[in-house]
Amino acid sequence: MLICRYTDHGRRGYGRVVHEENGDLLAPVRYDGRARRWVGGIGPARPLSEVTLLPPAEPTKIACVALNYAPQGSPTGPGRPANPAACSVVLKPPSTLVGHGAVVGHPGEPWELRHEAELAVVIGTACKGVPAERAAEVVAGYTCADDLTAYVRRAPEEPSGHPPVWAKHFDTFTPLGPWLTTDLDPADVPITCRVNGEVRQDGGTRGLLTPVHEIVAVVSRHMSLLPGDVILTGTPTGSGPLSVGDRVEVSLAGIGTLSHTVGAATDRLWTPDPTVNGGVPAGSVADRPATRSA
């Protein structure tokens, strides 16, 4: 099931996306935390093109797992036993969040902005200390993310090899969407990132050092997770620099394609209002779910 979050003349909600030959439809739904499932039948279906897409989550926090893929050519790769102690997590504020089709702000010199295509986990049920074997019970769904990060080109005051503390915290630095899926095996999801049509990243979650269910367990062991919270699971090799004017497409098999463009940063106050931070008519840009290549 594909679930989007949308706005229509100021009214926000969630809907099931149904792909039809004559156009995509949206059927309103809500998430039942007790039953741990999406519930429909709360309104008539309508064309998806009539609404505006929003990021498919409303997090209180965004947890980012760092260095969760083995470097290219490393003998350590898929199949390595999970090591929760090695799972390093940093937090992003909700003000980094933007949706499908948004324009993200390049902070300019001395920063180098880099793309990081990732599988995102959206929490559906409030939880703490979830065992790995029960992690799926608290997940509402999965979606595409670009965990944008800015590095200082020359920063002698910063430790070598580490991004500065603000690297992930700029407004608009977490494009998320276009929707989430509830029917996905997170252990084997191909991930592709294209910049201006050129493939920059081509990997998948089979290469995760700490798998998704262990990530949920580790993060929930250290902090309470609330409905809508987002966990970014790490990026495959190939992260590269972005410039103003670039178009980025993050495709995850079974979910779809998240796209955004890079613009110049502004001093404008961030707001979740899509008319300010880049909401777009869904029917004009929403992509079909990506398919696994043969």
Angle 25-126-26 from CA coordinates, rounded to 5°: 5
- pLDDT confidence band for 164 (50 / 70 / 90): low
The pTM assigned to this predicted structure is 0.86
- Of 64-68, 83-87, 257-261, 274-278, which range is least confident? 274-278
Q: What confidence tens digit (pLDDT) does each residue in 114-142 have?
A: 999 999 999 999 999 999 999 999 999 99
pLDDT value of residue 282: 42
Residue 281's pLDDT band (cuts 50, 70, 90): very low
Q: pLDDT-derived band of residue 155, with 50, 70 and 90 as boundaries? A: low
- Residue 187 backbone zone (phi > 0: left; psi -120 to 50: alpha; other: beta): alpha
Question: Rounded to an integer, what distance in angstroms lies between the CA atom of residue 272 and that of residue 222?
Answer: 28
pLDDT confidence bin for 166, thresholds 50/70/90: confident
d(CA 287, CA 294): 20
Which domains are seen in the chain, by residue range? 57-285 (3.90.850.10)
Tell me what the mean pLDDT of segment 149-166 comes to: 65
- Mean pLDDT lowest for which of 72-81, 202-211, 233-242? 72-81
Q: Which of the pair, 11 or 75, is modelled with greater confidence? A: 11
What pLDDT, on a 0 to 100 scale, did the predictor assign at position 68? 94
* pLDDT mean over 242-260: 97
